[in-house]
Amino acid sequence: MTFNTAHELLEQYHAGSLKPTQVADSLLKRIEQLNPKIHAYVYVAKERALAEAKKGEQTEKKGPLAGVPIVIKDNICVQGETTTCASKILERFQPPYNATVIEKLKTAGAVLMGKSNMDEFAFGSSCETSVYGPTRNPWDLERVPGGSSGGSAAAVVAGLTVMALGSDTGGSIRQPAALCGIVGMKPTYGRVSRYGLIAFASSLDQIGPLTRDVTDSALLMNVIAGHDPMDSTSVDTPVPDYTKALSISLKGIKIGIPKEYFVGGIDPEVEKIVQEAIRCLEKLGATVEKMSLPNTEHAISVYYIVAPSEASSNLARFDGVQYGYRKQLSVVSRQSLVEEPLKQMYFATRGDGFGKEAKRRIILGTYALSSGYYDAYYLKAQKVRTLIKNDFDRAFENYDCIVTPTSPTPAFKLGEKTSNPLQMYLSDIYTISVNLAGIPAMSVPCGFTKQGLPVGLQLLAKPFAEETLFHVGYAYEQANEWHKRHPEVK
């Protein structure tokens, strides 16, 4: 029961062979059993989940996700429910409002199971920087699930939820989806409202689904996509029914394979598995050609100027004054610094409230935006970002879809990269360009290494062409059974 997809559950609900309360109760028991080992959840809303499941049974006019359990990443606001971004600085913070995506989920009848673990403020690729401690990959508990939406991905693949919401700033949905062997969808920038998402980098962030298969991803996107006047970056363009794009033939689809994504640094097993997946796409009728995205090599450098700069600005609001954590100063400190008590409170609160990676990115971003360095770093990075976007614009004049690996490696060991931030940053080398360009992308499972670790295939499309991703992703998925595998957590 706990490994059913949402569309399978909905069919069983409709047939009367299963009830939402049975599913919610089964999941809650499984969470109680396995979450201490995996640590995917930071908060379980047991009473609310059961109440929402019961309401789904009693409501005559049911929503498209009525009775379907979903976990929410801990940087998406749920009214009255602790939302911390996995950071000490926001401990006990309870938003006074719901994010737009939460309102949409409630209207659709989804059952909100609780909050999932994440890298602090979404700063990370391994789900190890959380104040709550790391999440573990259900395929191998000594390995990371990817990040920053690692808790959401781990919960889905371990059967602790049916669906999940994550956020993607530089690969934070797609990379953990690849490392956990599920489907992760990063929509076009502006397709899904960011209202109620606690901001990391406002020009890059997008909310999206993590699901067991492509059909579930389409169902969830049908619910959360659309214009929102509460979000100034939300685009007012029609939202199609994504389930109608699910087709098994790729005849007429032209796919580009960028040579820059198959160079030194990629794990040989990952490259072999991805190449096999590309050959499968050809067999399904797609035309496949090698092509170039020449400015790809600059993506990491650009991202780690733009994203920390925006993070530095966004995180300036967390100062311990009106909400969240406030460091209590000692009597000696208060007396010795009586002339600047507010300044000292800021220093003490932010110094103690933020973790190492958050401080690192705030410092990097503040430096890049500082007087005398703004033009040399931030402004130049934005100009190169435009070149990266132009590469994609030109490519999509000739190709319907671009295919790449999602991650250069399978899941790595816990602690393997925490002492080397640059190596950690390179984990997102294949996903960052997508956010800089604002285009949609999807990761689908495409195989397993000899050690039994999942590998992800990344699909890219032009802005607001999510239908292409669902088409190509579904066709590939139906020709294989990688998405049907799930780990046995011991």
Catalytic residue among 87, 167, 172, 433: 172
Q: Please check whether residue 431 is in contact with residue 370, taking contact to mean a CB–CB distance below 8 angstroms.
A: no
73 belongs to the catalytic site = yes
Residue 325's nearest CA partner among 113, 91, 98, 163 is: 91
- If you compute the radius of gyration of the chain from its CA atoms, what whole number of angstroms results? 22
Q: Please check whether residue 160 is in contact with residue 27, taking contact to mean a CB–CB distance below 8 angstroms.
A: yes
Residue 406's nearest CA partner among 375, 372, 434, 378 is: 434
DSSP assignments along 407-468, one per residue = -SSSPPBTTSSTT-HHHHHGGGTTTHHHHHHT--EEEEEEEE-TTS-EEEEEEE-STT-HHH
Residue 162's nearest CA partner among 281, 16, 56, 273 is: 56
3-class state of residue 178 by DSSP: helix
Query: End-to-end distance of the chain based on CA atoms, in angstroms?
Result: 18
Catalytic residue among 87, 125, 126, 148: 148
* Tokens (6 digits) for 245: 């794009």
Show Cβ contacts of residue 203 under 8 Å, excluding neighbours closer than 6 positions: 189, 306, 310
52 vs 12, 35, 55, 410, CA distance in Å? 18, 21, 5, 37
Catalytic residue among 73, 186, 327, 417: 73
| ∠ CA 486-489-490, rounded to 5° | 150
Q: CA torsion sign, 135 to 140 to 141 to 144?
A: negative
312 belongs to the catalytic site = no
203 belongs to the catalytic site = no
Active site amino acids: 73, 148, 172
